[in-house]
Structures are given as C-alpha cells and as structure tokens.
A and B are shown apart, each in its own frame.
Chain A
Amino acid sequence: MIPHERSLVEKWKDKPFALVGVNSDGTETEAGLKQWRENAKKHGVTWRSFRDEGSTPKISDTWRVQGWPTLYYIDHEGVIRHKDVRDEAEMEKVLEEMIAKAEAAAKGGKPAGQKPADKKPADKKPADQKK
C-alpha cells in the first residue's frame, strides 16, 4: 500500500489532490510517536494523518471502519464519491477523474458557480422583505 500511495502523492503533487491519513499507530504516547517517526522516515511517508487514538469517539469508530486499510474518496466539494476502491489501477482511474473535475471547477467553474450563488440571496430578499 504505502509505496503506491507514495507514488500517488509524488505524481499529483502539483494537482488538487491530497492523501490524508487517519492513523492508528498509537502516536498519542511518546514511544508510539517515536516509533511512528522512524517508520515514516523508513517508508517515505510525507503526507499528514489524523491521530485516531485519543479522540472520543475515535474517528475510525465514527466512520465505522471495519478493517484496515479503509479508503474514502472525497471530491473537491467534500462529497464522498467512492468507497473502498482498492485495486491500484482502479484507484488511479477514479482519482484522475475526480482531479479533472476539481481542476475544471477551479478554472471555469468559479464564475459560473458564483452566479446562482449571487442570485439566490437576491431571489430571497424580496420574499424576506415582504414579511
């Protein structure tokens, strides 16, 4: 897993993509964190991870994680688009599509997206004023 993930992070370092971990290695203790740092160095883990332990409830409990690793694919708007795609080729395909959409939204999407957002309060105002 980790070598592939590392390759994704490197491949898309200039793209709107982030690998975010939720790590369950017990880094809330000093010994755990020390061990984690050693492992991270050894395996080239550069991306950030939430600390799973110590939060109540644990993030992995809230997210109903049944086994590790568990993957969620979240788009640029914060919507879950896929779960548990594990095949490496499939992972890249799915992520590439999502990244393309994020880039399109960042480029042309903003002005287009702003119009309805501007309109909505304008539409609502007269109704509110009537009250």
Chain B
Amino acid sequence: MTRTVLAALFLLATPSFVLCQDGSAAPQDPKAAYDELVKAFNKAISDWQTEAQAAVEKARAEGAKQLPAIAMTPPTKEFIAKAQEYAQQYEGKDEAVPFLGFVLKYARTERNAVKKVIGTLAATHGKSAAIADVLPFVTTGMRMGAAAQVMELLDDVAANHANAECKALALITRGTIKLQSANTDAERKAAEQDLRSVASITKDADLVAQAKDALFEIENLQVGCKAPEIAGVDVEGAPIKLSDYLGKVVLLDFWGFW
C-alpha cells in the first residue's frame, strides 16, 4: 500500500517533461507510457494463456507425449526489451525507475536484463526515493544470477538511504531473502535482526506489519514449531479447524486447480 502511495506522490510531484533533448516530441509522459506498456503486456499474456491452453488441450486430445512449444514460452521478451528502451530514454532520472521495476516484475528468463537492471539501480537510483516502488522486486535477481549485486544494493539502501521508509523496505526485503535461504539458527537470527529493526526506524503501519508477518514465519512456521491453529470453513462452507486432526499426521497442502 505504502509503495503505491509513495509512487503516486512521486508521480504527482514530478512534472512530466514533454520534449526529448533533441527536441523531438516524447511519445507520452512516462506514467502514461508505463501504463500502456503494462496494459499491452497483460493483454499479450492473456492471449498467450488462451492460445497455450487450447494448444495443450489439442495435443492431449491427439495423445501427444510432449507439451506444445507455445505452452513453454510466455511472450515476455519484447516487453522486457521495450521497458529497457524506456529506462534508457529516462536514463539517470527517477522516471526510469518504474521501467526498471517492470523488468524485475515480469522477467521470466531474461537474466541479462535483470542483472543490468540491478546494476543500474545500484549505480544510479540507490539514493532516490523512487526506488521504494521497486525494492520488493529485486528478489528476482536472486534467482537470475545477480544475488551478490542484489544484496549489495539492499545493504547500501538499508545503511545509507536518507528516507526511513526506503531503509525499512530494504531491511524487510533483505530479511525475507535471508529467511528464505536460511538453513541454520544463526542465519535465521540474521534475518530476524533485519526484520526486528524495522519497527525502530519507521512508524509506517504497513511496513511494520510486513516485518511482523515475516517475523511470524521465523517464530511459528519453522520445522519444530507447533503449527499455528487454523480455524475457518472448508470449500463447502462447513467449519473446520486444523486442531480437529490432532493425533493424525497432517499433510497441509496449499493448492488450487486454477
């Protein structure tokens, strides 16, 4: 929520510039360009899903053993490239940040693009308040071969950013990353430290809640922890509790047909 508010404030406060340096008219203001890019992307993905599903069903009906190629390749490439173009166009300015964020949010296989984005954020936008909007998405870099650069960026923002909310976001993101890769108590402690410090540097309710939720994971959802009670209804609406199953081994499975 805060991220959106920060982004909105930043967009309101920044007059969009109309002319490129060479005097030619810029296609649109950056906000409109971003929205248009996202809209086109969503449409392409939705079209792809429909087509891929049809192709899969057809292949099944024909008894094919392998999935058709279309099912494996969401059309992200051209949109990632377009976002990079925009980022280049606004190079060095806050306006580039949402486009860098686009790459982090939607890249599936574009490792080089992601690496480059992490590098650009670290080199150019590490001190800007605009980075708040994309910090939670730098985790993409962790699985795209830029883990060290991601941690460097987060370390820098957590230690040196002027804005407390940005610092807090960096701590939450770093703590969550550490938690996900933690195998030992010492590693979990390090994650815990990041998350605990959030409440001392910001009063932002949303950020404090985010840190609290992540701490809940450390304290209640580890192997060896008593499983937190779940009391709710089943899919048919009948009451059901996890503790109904005490005495049995429970495989708790978060799932869906979709």
Contact = CB atoms under 8 A, between A and B. Distances in A.
Interface of A: 1, 5, 8, 15-25, 27, 33, 36, 39, 43, 48-52, 54-55, 59-66, 68-83, 91, 95, 98-99, 102, 106
Interface majority SS on A: helix, strand, loop or mixed? mixed
A65 B223 contact: no
Interface of B: 180, 213-214, 216-217, 221-228, 230, 232-237, 240, 242-243, 245-258
Nearest to B179: A64
Contacts, number: 156
Contacts of B257: 25, 36, 39, 43
A80 B233 CA distance: 22
Given A62-B216, A79-B227, A49 B251 contact: no
Contacts of A78: 226-227, 242-243, 246
Given A79-B227, A80-B223, A74 B252 contact: yes
Given A27-B235, A76-B246, A77-B246, 5 more contacts: A60-B254, A66-B180, A71-B254, A74-B249, A95-B251
B249 to A, nearest CB: 4
Contact of B249 (A5, A54, A64, A102): A102
10 contacts: A5-B253, A21-B253, A36-B235, A65-B254, A66-B180, A68-B254, A69-B253, A72-B252, A76-B248, A79-B227
A24 B252 contact: no
B216 A50 contact: no
B94 to A, nearest CB: 29
A20 B254 contact: no
A119 B243 CA distance: 25
A89 to B, nearest CB: 15
Contacts of B247: 16, 76, 102, 106
Contacts of A17: 248-251
Contacts of B240: 48, 50
A65 B217 CA distance: 10
B27 to A, nearest CB: 36
B250 to A, nearest CB: 4
